[in-house]
Amino acid sequence: MWRYAWRSFTYLQEVSLSTRFLIRGGYVFFPEEESLRRADVEIAEGRIKRIAETLPAEADIRIIEAQDKLLSPGLIDLHAHLREPGREDTETLESGAWAALAGGFTTICAMPNTQPPMDTREQAAFISKRSDELGLARILPVGAATKGRAGEEIAEYALLKEAGVVAVTDDGDWIYSSEVMRCALEYAGMLGLVVITHAEEPSLCEEGIMNESTVSAKLGLKVRPAVAEEAAIQRDIALASCTGSHLHVAHITTTRGVELVRQARVKGIKVTAEATPHHLLLTDEALLSFDANYKVYPPLRTEEDRKALLEALKDGTIQAIATDHAPHAIEEKEQELDLAPAGMIGLQTALSVLWEGLVEPEVIKPELLLRLLTTGPASVIGEKVELKEESPANLMVFDPAARWTFDAQNNRSLSQNSPWFGKKLKGKIEHVFLGERHFSF
Ligand SMILES: [Zn+2]
Ligand SMILES: [Zn+2]
């Protein structure tokens, strides 16, 4: 029964191997019709047994009261850095999968910029196998787009696909050679794999650490301008158009970048995009604090850009919200801004901060947020999300009113580089069901 409990923690959360559950009175998100309505849901033997307005509480059933809580299919993250192999001091597949579960994510895609980079069948197979062994959030490997992530020669996609990769990318770096990117798209396209681009033209970003704006002028810091993203997206769209293959733009951040994706989609070019919680909630003004937790690539942009991202969520230009969970050691993040590595963790806090920042002030509807975290990302990697009778119990329960502080006690990641670390948050994951396993937090 305790097999899945994480050894390193003394405050074990309950992990039980099934009895029957009745989740009562919650607002249930039905992904197919994208609606949210009150219902009782019964789970037995790892499957959804019954869904109805009210269900009887039979004798041997465990009841979870979910009035005013949300019941949804488990969330899917297209973009997480788990640091294994190479930097297991900052995150492992195991700790990352726990952080995911605690954030309501039941599927996460592991980015390949590990040490060594994940560019072979063996490495991808290791991730898939380890994911099965752990029995926590499912970890889907993403393969390196080029050998060694060097940007020169594409990796063996057919072999990577056999080992379970759902996409290829050199995330962290843009593939500089247009010829290599064209090959990547052609080869991936033949195999039905999506190519994810980290769209920053590096020659425009040399040594830059923040957005180019009045804030950077004030701080006197070197910049990674919006045009670096736009130039990169423009080339990648041109190559997606000529190959007919599926391009996915990771962590899109700029007004014009979004406009390029919008126009390409109108023309029928196969391009999708994701935005991160931090780019949807924060701007470059956060760096006035000199806190390296706000240093991310691509950088936080202006309020105008942030608003453009919100519009793009609403009109369907952006399909998914992805965390770009990027763990770093404290001593590295505590260096001055120039030296600190870029990135923040986000798996465990994503839904809480998005709910409080976007749904509560009615910037976006709860149904849209849930789509962007379930069916949206699923569609990018060709997966399906269901919540109906007889489908596997792959669910999470979220209490939008619960208050909690994200701190060393409840942080499941091995790193704590988040601007929300130590802060009071509203909205918390309480339960996750993964087939016959039940986790409560
Ligand atoms: Zn990236
Ligand atoms: Zn990334």
Q: For residue 94, give the CATH number of its domain.
A: 3.20.20.140
**One domain, residues 261 and 370:** yes
Q: List Cβ neighbours of 102 (8 Å cut-off, separation of 6 or more).
A: 347, 348, 410, 412, 429, 441
Q: Give the ligand at the shortest distance from the Cα of 232.
A: 1
Q: How far is the CA of 440 from the centre of ligand 1 (A)?
A: 32
**One domain, residues 137 and 286:** yes
Range of 430's domain? 20-71+389-440
Q: How far is the CA of 343 from the centre of ligand 1 (A)?
A: 9
Residue 2 lies inside a defined structural domain of this protein: no
Q: Give the ligand at the shortest distance from the Cα of 322.
A: 2
**One domain, residues 186 and 112:** yes
Active site residue 315: no
Model pTM score: 0.96
Q: How far is the CA of 174 from the centre of ligand 1 (A)?
A: 8
**One domain, residues 327 and 418:** no
Choose the catalytic residue: 77, 324, 399, 407.
Answer: 324
**One domain, residues 407 and 295:** no
Domain boundary among 359, 381, 403: 381
Q: How far is the CA of 172 from the centre of ligand 2 (A)?
A: 6
Q: Is 324 annotated as a binding residue?
A: yes
Residue 368 lies inside a defined structural domain of this protein: yes
Q: Is 83 annotated as a binding residue?
A: yes
Reading phi first (left if > 0) and then psi (alpha if -120 to 50, else beta), residue 125 is in alpha
**One domain, residues 256 and 371:** yes
**One domain, residues 98 and 150:** yes
Question: Residue 438: which H helix or E strand, with range?
Answer: strand 437-440
Tell me the sheet residues that pair with 437: 17, 434
Q: How far is the CA of 111 from the centre of ligand 2 (A)?
A: 7
pLDDT means per 10 residues in the chain (441 residues)?
40 64 98 97 96 93 96 98 97 98 98 97 97 97 98 98 98 98 98 98 97 97 98 98 98 98 98 98 97 98 98 98 98 94 98 98 98 98 97 97 97 98 98 94 93
CA 244 – CA 383 distance, rounded (Å): 20
Residue 299 lies inside a defined structural domain of this protein: yes
Residue 52 lies inside a defined structural domain of this protein: yes
pLDDT value for 14: 59
Q: Is 38 exposed, middle or buried, given 0-12, 13-18 or 19+ CB atoms closer than 10 A?
A: middle
Q: How far is the CA of 198 from the centre of ligand 1 (A)?
A: 5
The domain tally of the chain equals 2
**Residues with Cβ–ion distance below 5 A, ligand 1:** 171, 198
Q: Is 113 annotated as a binding residue?
A: yes
Q: Report yes or no: 302 and 211 within 8 Å, Cβ to Cβ.
A: yes
**One domain, residues 172 and 143:** yes
Q: How far is the CA of 172 from the centre of ligand 1 (A)?
A: 4
**One domain, residues 116 and 52:** no
pLDDT value for 58: 87
**One domain, residues 46 and 184:** no
Q: Is 251 annotated as a binding residue?
A: yes
**One domain, residues 333 and 413:** no
pLDDT value for 107: 98
Q: Report yes or no: 431 and 441 within 8 Å, Cβ to Cβ.
A: yes
Q: Give the ligand at the shortest distance from the Cα of 324.
A: 2
Residue 6 lies inside a defined structural domain of this protein: no
CATH number at residue 62: 2.30.40.10
Q: Report yes or no: 387 and 371 within 8 Å, Cβ to Cβ.
A: no
Q: Is 82 annotated as a binding residue?
A: yes
Q: Is 328 annotated as a binding residue?
A: yes
Residues 403-438 as b/e (b if ≥16 CB within 10 A, e otherwise) read ebebeeeebbbbbbbbbbbeeebbbbbbbbbbbbbb
Residue 80 lies inside a defined structural domain of this protein: yes
pLDDT value for 19: 81
In the chain, the amino acid numbered 172 is G
Q: Is 81 annotated as a binding residue?
A: yes
CA 77 – CA 389 distance, rounded (Å): 25
Q: How far is the CA of 111 from the centre of ligand 1 (A)?
A: 9
Residues in the chain: 441
pLDDT value for 59: 85
Q: Give the ligand at the shortest distance from the Cα of 299.
A: 1
63-117 pLDDT per residue, tens: 999 999 999 999 999 999 999 999 999 999 999 999 999 999 999 999 999 999 9
Domain boundary among 381, 406, 429: 381
Q: Give the ligand at the shortest distance from the Cα of 199.
A: 1
Residue 9 lies inside a defined structural domain of this protein: no
Domain boundary among 381, 403, 428: 381
Residue 185 lies inside a defined structural domain of this protein: yes
**One domain, residues 248 and 344:** yes
